[in-house]
Amino acid sequence: MDLGFTAVERSLRAEARAWLAAHVPPEPLASLETEAGFAQHRAWERTLHEGRWSVVSWPREYGGRGCSLLEWLVFEEEYHAAGAPARVSQNGVHLLAPTLFAHGTDEQRARVLPAMAGGGTVWAQAWSEPEAGSDLASLRSVAVRTEGGWLLSGHKAWSSRAAFADRAFGLFRSHPGADRPHHGLTYAMFPLDADGVTVRPVGRLDGKPAFAELLLDDVFVPDEDIIGEPGRGWRVAMSTAGAERGVTLRSPGRFTAAARRLVTLWRAAGEPLDGALGDRVADAVIRARAYQLHGYAQASRPGPADPAGAESSLTKVFWSELDLALHETALDLLGPRGELADTAGEAPAGGGWADGWTFALAGPVYAGTNEIQRDVIGERLLGLPKGRRG
């Protein structure tokens, strides 16, 4: 077994490191969950695109570099190690784009992907509803056939960054007579400034306004904005869900970089004698490294990374709990100062640890709750009998 990197991978790492050193803003951008910060992060997407770093794993014709999954992991390690800004385009780049590559048409890819790559169009995910979160198949929003397209109506909730995004993608019940809840669904893309769309910000723990719910009232969507076959959207949605729970949404580089910052924090605190705290720092570092090696293993094996789709559930539980452990340990090291928000001038790391903690709190809930993911792991990977969902 060869655990080393190839010359191509080493060259990519060096090129990325040099470019990031020259272009990453010296001061952190404002939070992308605010209007001003959203605009700053959109501009950063343009800068990334000009350097051909915004979508490195995409084909070159859409602005990418045609990188392999392993090369993408290498780039992500450098990206997070450089302290580069969070990606405001991640819903589009990491969720919708893989779905379009798998189920979209050539026309859709040619029309949608270039604007996404350059930050010109930022996407929100419109999946969850007030009574359909992890149990997505119980959704009630509808798509009704009309001349040349569909009319969308319903209520989508908990949509990250929808307050400032340009377009959204979601799942709608189009064939109400279908025999099973996950049959008769259609996957659609729609503009957030269209007639019939109301975007209503939802209050968050940190008070930032980008989280929103969407109220749809006969929103017209042309046929060309339907992904896959109408009525068979569940299959398309599972492609998106696999991407949402796997390594591509939460790359290992994100956590190895955070683990290094945690070690720096521990040393800056004078290496406290609290043995339990030291153990937690060591545990977080080990788990981040384990996730990194898991990513390498996924990228190195032949064939689809996760043919059954269920391994992404294993990955999602792991990274969401790791993210929480990293930030809780950091806040315990910092003490009361760690709870200062990014608007406080004396906040450690510009409030990054506090912001990261509030975001990490949601990790076990979004992208399908960890309780549901454990059911999937038990049933599909371990072959256990159906439990509470049976």
| Sign of torsion over alpha carbons 189, 193, 197, 199 | positive
Yes or no: say if 171 and 237 are a contact pair by the CB < 8 Å rule. yes
Give CA separation, 387 vs 104, 107, 248, in Å: 35, 43, 29
Instruction: Quote the distance between the C-alpha of residue 335 and its chain's center.
Output: 29
Tally helices (H) and strands (E) across the chain: 12, 8
Cα separation, 62 vs 111, whole angstroms: 10
Angle between helices 275-300 and 69-81 (to 10 degrees): 150
Give CA separation, 42 vs 17, 33, 165, 171, 220, in Å: 21, 12, 10, 26, 27
Residue type at 122 in one-letter notation = V
| Sign of torsion over alpha carbons 343, 347, 348, 354 | negative
Instruction: Quote the distance between the C-alpha of residue 191 and its chain's center.
Output: 20
- Kind and range of the H or E run holding 150: strand 149-159
Which residues make Cβ contacts (< 8 Å) with residue 284, sequence separation at least 6? 259, 262, 322, 325, 326, 329
Cα separation, 73 vs 79, whole angstroms: 10
The SS3 of residue 186 is strand
The SS3 of residue 187 is strand
Q: With CA atoms as reference, report the closest residue to 4 among 68, 80, 74, 56.
A: 74
CB atoms inside a 10 Å sphere around CB 243: 22
Cα separation, 161 vs 32, whole angstroms: 8
244 catalytic? Reply is yes
Yes or no: say if 222 and 151 are a contact pair by the CB < 8 Å rule. no
Choosing from 33, 244, 271, 321, which is the catalytic residue? 244
User: Annotated active-site positions, please?
Assistant: 244
